[in-house]
Chains A and B, each alone.
Chain A
Amino acid sequence: MIKPVNQKAWWLVLPVVICVAFSAILPLMTVVNYSVQDIISPERRVFVGTEWFVSVLRDEELHSAMVRQLVYSFAVLAVEVPLGIALALAMPAAGWRASATLVLVALSLLIPWNVVGTIWQIFGRSDIGLLGAALQAIGLEYSYTGNPTHAWLTVLAMDVWHWTPLVALLCYAGLRAIPDAFYQAAQIDGASRLAVFRYIQLPKLRGVLMIAVLLRFMDSFMIYTEPFVLTGGGPGNATTFLSQYLTQKAVGQFDLGPAAAFSLIYFLIILLFCFVLYNWMQRVGTHSTGTAASDAGERGAV
């Protein structure tokens, strides 16, 4: 096969490159600029190399924020993904009930972040809030402003309330895309409800679940507005996640150098985690083949 060589198509990519450069790369370079210099005023600046990076990485506060953030993000995934799948499975497939359910489920997605924070701030109050008062009434000393665990759980519950519907909607779409023949074949094969879920629905949902996991991971890893409104990062530092930490540095203390350095690190962390999650989920299918094949091999050997 001889293919004609024609490189002219690169010119077609140029507009995109220019757009991305203006909207993403150049602003990012500003951050890079700040991260390697100490800028006192536009005329007075000193190149400091990796100094900011080193100082940020050695910051104890950052370490604990990082741990809180990771635990939080994985808790979000651990709750929202199974719950979203369960919700999608329970939603009616067709008719007016399906439309009504879709609207109801999607409702929380339409509420702005800061409003969600405010809603929960009131919802959780032990004097006038439905949740807080109810918990008080059954004898739980609930206080999201005083108790770090309660605060952390409330932020988690708020995120679950706000974003599980997204996972559910994605899964719902994935479920509707499975042809009837699969269910019919499974019925004829005598498969149990659990087997249908395990061998038909779950494998067919892999694509949408990957999107759901990545979206929820990225979003929860960058969570800012809701805890800011609800707890302001407290009590103590209990709900101070990475974004809060960053804002405190950049806006509160005006440490632009360390804040810029950390922004870059933050960006790389998210990129890394998404990369790892994506590859892991891509491999889940093939991995199970590996065990399946070795299973079969063992059985063959026995």
Chain B
Amino acid sequence: MARIQLDIAHSYRANPRDDADYALLPMRQTFEDGGAYALLGPSGCGKTTMLNIISGLVAPSQGSIRFDQRDVTQLPPQQRNIAQVFQFPVVYDTMTVAQNLAFPLRNRGMDEARARARVGVIAEMLDLSAQLDQRAAGLSADQKQKISLGRGLVREDVGAVLFDEPLTVIDPHLKWQLRRKLKEIHRELRLTLIYVTHDQVEALTFADSVLVMARGRVIQSGSPSELFEQPAHRFVGHFIGSPGMNFIPVNRLKHGGSVSGSGSGSVSSFDDLIPPGAITLGIRPEYLGMGESKPGEPSEMNLLAAKVQRIQDLGSSWLVSAQVESGAEGGSDCLVRLRLARDAAVPALNQVVGLRVFGPHTRFYDAQERLIGRESEGALR
């Protein structure tokens, strides 16, 4: 069992000068004992580096790592109570499944009988009992990945298991099974699990807490619903969700031309709704609705006029792409997407619709692309 505390920075260069030289910018992060965490971010954001620092494969250029109260910064991987599963399954080709699973125990000098008993328990847990005497090289990718995991779990001292995109090479239908197996093991053993992925569905379904990373920083950490409802940064809004959050420049809203409903007071009420310092409005496609209006004669106020460009049938819903009518000074294109329920009235192509951009789920972002009106807790410490 382990609570992991990081207070680190890492650069692969000898003399890092600016932020771009760092793979991980100085950060503090705590992984609570028994938690299931996901590190989510695009390629090159530093998530694998963070994982390798935790496991000890990479030594951080600054700072320290603590497991519970123990400082493990200087310890090699084999002396830390962690296990790691890699993107491509690692099995020892010439060994059987049983020998593979027993390998870490033998290396640590455990006696045969105890090792065999332990292997039996873990094989049972991973549904590998039937394959114990088979050669590991001949198994399928998902079974090899289970062996990789098993080699970690088999050690009794293991407190945390790290996963580096472990499902990349697994068939889609087996991905679900394997992920369910992981959750099961998590429930059973109460290990700290840290899971690196660039697939948001994997991250959101696996973890209690997701850390979204970009360019060496943890941009936001929180539960899946927090990330969805309260993206602390435009990057998170864009990265989480499929498609990501819509962003509309605030100046589009302020200029009368883009507002349907020329009635008195509507323009000024737009201004009232926008907090000071806001540069961009963000709203998720799931929450962006259409007003029941024809252009020019609104039945509702505060609608943003947009022209329907494309309608995609997603099976369970419709995805409508619409172009926000350019403002008075003819700003750049601004495409928004909205997801409509299966049974909703779908607009026609090229029809001008009124978008209901203000609502409880509307967020605003400042010039630094950060969320306005949310305390800085959690996000960037």
- Across-interface contacts of B76 in A (CB, < 8 A): 187
Is A214 part of the binding interface, using a Cβ–Cβ cutoff of 8 Å? Answer: no
- Whether the Cβ atoms of A191 and B103 lie closer than 8 Å is yes
How far is it, in angstroms, between the C-alpha of A106 and the C-alpha of B311 when the chains are bound?
Answer: 63
Q: Give chain A interface residues in 230-278, CB to chain B under 8 Å.
A: none
- Across-interface contacts of A296 in B (CB, < 8 A): 96, 98-99, 132-133
- Whether the Cβ atoms of A293 and B151 lie closer than 8 Å is no
Q: How many residues of A contact B (CB 8 A)?
A: 26
- Whether the Cβ atoms of B96 and A289 lie closer than 8 Å is yes
Kindly specify which of B35-43, B77-85, B178-186 makes contact with the partner chain: B77-85
- Whether the Cβ atoms of A188 and B135 lie closer than 8 Å is no
- Whether the Cβ atoms of B94 and A190 lie closer than 8 Å is no
- Whether the Cβ atoms of A189 and B151 lie closer than 8 Å is yes
For the complex, would chain A's binding face be called helix, strand, loop or mixed by DSSP majority? Answer: helix
How far is it, in angstroms, between the C-alpha of A292 and the C-alpha of B94 when the chains are bound?
Answer: 8
Q: What's the least CB distance linking B238 to chain A, in Å?
A: 31
Kindly specify which of A50-58, A97-105, A117-125, A177-185 makes contact with the partner chain: A177-185
Kindly specify which of A68-76, A156-164, A198-206 makes contact with the partner chain: A198-206
- Across-interface contacts of B87 in A (CB, < 8 A): 181
How far is it, in angstroms, between the C-alpha of A179 and the C-alpha of B52 when the chains are bound?
Answer: 15
Known: A185-B151, A296-B132, A297-B133. A203 touches B99 (CB 8 A): no
- Across-interface contacts of A299 in B (CB, < 8 A): 112, 116
Which of the listed residues B52, B77, B90, B148 has the most CB atoms from chain A within 10 Å of its own CB?
Answer: B90
Q: Give chain B interface residues in 18-62, CB to chain A under 8 Å.
A: 52, 55, 57
- Across-interface contacts of A204 in B (CB, < 8 A): 93
Which of the listed residues A190, A191, A300 has the most CB atoms from chain B within 10 Å of its own CB?
Answer: A190
How far is it, in angstroms, between the C-alpha of A192 and the C-alpha of B107 when the chains are bound?
Answer: 7
- Across-interface contacts of A190 in B (CB, < 8 A): 78, 104, 107-108
- Whether the Cβ atoms of A185 and B86 lie closer than 8 Å is yes
Known: A187-B78, A190-B78, A296-B99. A181 touches B94 (CB 8 A): no
Is B95 part of the binding interface, using a Cβ–Cβ cutoff of 8 Å? Answer: yes
Known: A181-B86, A296-B99. A187 touches B57 (CB 8 A): yes
- Whether the Cβ atoms of A181 and B90 lie closer than 8 Å is yes
Q: What's the least CB distance linking A287 to chain B, in Å?
A: 10
- Whether the Cβ atoms of A199 and B84 lie closer than 8 Å is no
Which residues of A are interface residues toward B (Cβ below 8 A)? 179, 181-182, 184-185, 187-192, 195, 199-200, 203-204, 285-286, 288-289, 292-293, 296-297, 299-300
